[in-house]
Amino acid sequence: MSTVNSKDVAALRQKTGLGMMDCKKALVATDGDFEKSIEYLRKKGISKGEAVQGRSMGEGLVESYIHPGGRVGVLIEVGCETDFVARADEFISMVHDLSMQIAAARPRYVKREEVSQAIIDKEIEIYREQLAEENKPADIIERIAKGKLDKFFKESCLVEQPFIKDTNKVVGDYVLEIAGRLKEHIEVRRFARFSLGD
């Protein structure tokens, strides 16, 4: 087992937002491997956020964001449990980050459960037709079509998109990490993106 130095612990804490002891344990558990420690703590941070999911939300924030130049605007509603958290700087900063994410990455839905079956069926039909021209076996076509559908969800659903400020995580993981730190259920309820001329 390698020795753990305080500089690595501090760097890991800054990267993950988790406590010093958690970061030290992660470095010890991974024999000082910084990348493995980040993965270890991301999982731990996500589980902290998941622990509070499902609790009722009566508070939150509606944020408006206009991208410089005035050609793109976003309205977003994010729910939380208490007014205390809704007014917390970290929560407000997260909502602003999500607004910028929506402006930049153009998601169409919050999560895949919002995508209608009719849209899913249409996407699968398009993929099958594209692949049929390549003379691939039917089972291969189905597997590739499902992979393309998964890619569609990752591009179209906010919580599955790579987070613009840290592409090593998806937006859903980022929200769960904040939920874990604030110890509240946090959820993106809805958003609207406006683009001049659309």
Band of residue 54 on the pLDDT scale cut at 50, 70, 90 = low
Specify the CATH architecture of the domain 59-110+157-195: 2-Layer Sandwich (3.30)
For residue 56, give the amino acid letter: S
Band of residue 169 on the pLDDT scale cut at 50, 70, 90 = very high
CATH number corresponding to 6-51: 1.10.8.10
CATH number corresponding to 116-155: 1.10.286
Q: Which residues contact 124 (CB under 8 A, 6 or more apart)?
A: 145, 149
CA dihedral of 88, 89, 90, 93, whole degrees rounded to 10: 130
Q: Express each pLDDT in 176-189 by its tens digit.
A: 999 989 988 899 99
pTM: 0.69
